[in-house]
């Protein structure tokens, strides 16, 4: 997404759709110049950093790798998709940043990180996932998927749903993230042929 393709930002840095456009200098300050100590993950499309805005708000910053294979279409897809989708079990996109070749997505931050860490991490984290908690996570993910498939304004197939793409909030409620591989269907469509294997 280039600035020419995005809607004109207002003076407060928001587009007319209320998506926030972050300045690259703000991103650098928030992450201490993408310090390795702030790195919290590495996805197929690039690293994720924890950041802190001058207001004190903690954010998660996904910096798309130039060699990731996620091009302009995937970036635009993920940004507009997540912003338009609103559900308690979907991660919330706060905004984006474009600066020269840099393409960055800014999300709400979850200190508990991903379900993957709890399933395959140390025994302490595994013990936190009692059956009642596991059931709550399963129900939350299911509710998010049902919303994407049936009740959102766009019919969305995630195509990369896995434990590392399920974030957990402070109460261990699940939030589906990473929509770079998602496919949008028309409301009357139920199937489509794809040309390449993607996701999980």
199 in Cβ contact with 146 (< 8 Å)? no
Cα 149 to Cα 135: distance, rounded to the nearest angstrom: 21
- Sign of the dihedral through C-alpha 63, 53, 17, 161: positive
Q: Which domains does the chain show, CATH number per domain?
A: 20-108 (3.30.200.20), 115-185 (1.10.510.10)
Cα 69 to Cα 108: distance, rounded to the nearest angstrom: 24
Is the pLDDT at 10 greater than 90? The verdict is no
Provide the percentage of residues in the chain whose pLDDT is more than 70.
78
What integer is the mean pLDDT of 170-184? Answer: 86
Is the pLDDT at 188 greater than 70? The verdict is no
Is the pLDDT at 181 greater than 50? The verdict is yes
Q: Which residues have a catalytic role annotated? A: 160
Cα 45 to Cα 172: distance, rounded to the nearest angstrom: 25
Tell me the pLDDT tens digit for each residue of 95-150: 889 888 888 999 999 989 899 999 998 778 888 899 999 999 999 999 999 999 98
Which residues pair with residue 63 across a beta bridge?
104
Tell me the pLDDT tens digit for each residue of 145-172: 999 998 887 788 888 899 999 999 999 9
Report how far apart, in Å, the C-alpha atoms of 108 and of each of 100, 151, 167, 169 are: 24, 23, 11, 10
| Greater model confidence, 62 or 72 | 62
Confidence at residue 8, expressed as pLDDT on a 0 to 100 scale: 39
Which residues pair with residue 176 across a beta bridge?
90, 166
């Amino acid at each position: 997404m280039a600035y020419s393709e995005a809607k004109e930002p207002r003076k407060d840095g928001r587009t007319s759709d209320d998506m926030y456009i972050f300045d690259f200098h703000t991103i650098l300050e928030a992450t201490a110049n993408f310090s390795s100590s702030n790195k919290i993950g590495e996805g197929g499309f690039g690293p994720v950093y924890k950041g802190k805005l001058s207001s004190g708000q903690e954010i998660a910053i996904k910096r798309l790798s130039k060699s990731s294979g996620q091009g302009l279409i995937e970036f635009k897809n993920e940004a507009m998709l997540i912003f338009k989708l609103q559900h308690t079990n979907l991660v919330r996109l706060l905004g984006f940043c474009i600066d020269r070749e840099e393409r960055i997505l800014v999300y709400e931050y979850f200190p508990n990180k991903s379900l993957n860490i709890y399933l395959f991490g140390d025994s302490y984290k595994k013990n936190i996932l009692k059956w009642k908690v596991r059931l709550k996570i399963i129900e939350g993910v299911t509710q998010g998927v049902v919303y994407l498939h049936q009740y959102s304004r766009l019919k969305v197939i995630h195509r990369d749903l896995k434990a590392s793409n399920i974030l957990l909030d402070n109460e261990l409620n699940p939030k589906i993230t990473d929509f770079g591989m998602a496919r949008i269907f028309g409301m009357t469509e139920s199937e489509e042929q794809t040309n390449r294997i993607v996701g999980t």
